[in-house]
Amino acid sequence: MKKKKIQNISILTIAILIIGSIIAYNYSVDITKQKGLQFGNELNQIENNLSDIQAKFYSEKIKWVEGDISKIELLKFYKIHIDNFKKNISKYDELTPPELFKSSVILLKISAETQLESDLQFIEWIKTGDESAKIRSDALFQESYEYQNLGLVEFQTAKVGIKYYEGGEKFEEPQGVSAQKVLQVYEKMEKQCSEQFRNELGGFDSNQIEIEWFDCNNEAKEWKIQHMP
């Protein structure tokens, strides 16, 4: 239980670290600074909201364990939690990040989506007592933590990249990421492209949407090539 609490605190701490560094960009052109500031503020708000939502998720569980609320009350709250989580995840799609920060936003969104999957499995465990659901929840939680770490690395590297570009030096990609993790992220990127652009039958509603899907997949492939060790 202590280990789980430490993990929970860690993932929220990382979110706070991201939030604390988001707005400190140095762009050479005023208009770019304004766009970067707006993007930073919007991402800041999303991360803050998700952090608060997740903290509440665990605090309600503690109330249930301690007998302060019933199981029915807990599950009722968790239904609201899932709805709120989904709404906040959708806000990632409304962001307009500068080019260098796009991959960090993708990773942060994947982290949030994986956390949501973890929460759903956790709720299933609460409902049914199925230990396999609890095991899946813990595994997904760890994945979410790793994706968020990658997102933070990408974000910090992008900040360094901006300084390198301004100084005429070479931009370095993040180091130390395993091939397996790169492939996992790539597969999730591909899945997101399909979910965003394909219809229920697996096709496309227009030629333009198919082109956008193609571009989305190409961006995912480019990310994989750039980050593969």
pLDDT tens, per residue, the chain with 229 residues? 545 544 554 555 555 555 555 544 444 444 455 566 678 788 888 988 998 999 899 899 889 989 999 999 999 999 999 999 999 999 999 988 887 788 888 889 989 999 999 999 999 999 999 999 999 999 998 888 888 888 877 777 776 655 443 344 333 444 555 666 777 777 877 888 888 888 888 888 888 888 888 888 777 777 777 766 5
Are 158 and 91 found together in one domain?
yes
- Tell whether 32 and 122 lie within a shared domain: yes
C-alpha closest to that of 130 among 140, 120, 141, 142: 120
Are 157 and 172 in contact, with CB atoms under 8 Å apart?
yes
Helices and strands of the chain, counted as H and E runs: 7, 0
Residues 40 and 125 in one domain: yes
The pLDDT, as a whole number, for residue 114 is 92
Q: Are residues 162 and 191 in the same domain?
A: no
CA distance 159 to 58: 33
- 118 and 210 both lie in a single domain: no
> In which domain, by residue range, is 162 found?
2-167
pTM over 0.75: no
Q: Which of 141, 167, 193 is the last residue of a domain?
A: 167
Exposure pattern of 11-32 as b/e (b: 16+ CB <10 Å)?
Answer: bbebbeebbeebeebeeeeeee
User: Domain end: 120, 147, 167, which one?
Assistant: 167
Asked if the structure places residue 150 within a domain, the reply is yes
Is the same domain home to 10 and 93? yes
Structure tokens at 180: 């397996």
What pLDDT does 30 receive? 47
pLDDT at res. 28: 45
Model pLDDT, residue 129: 92
pLDDT in tens, 18-76: 555 554 444 444 445 556 667 878 888 898 899 899 989 989 988 998 999 999 999 99
190 and 133 in a common domain:
no
Residue 116: predicted pLDDT: 94
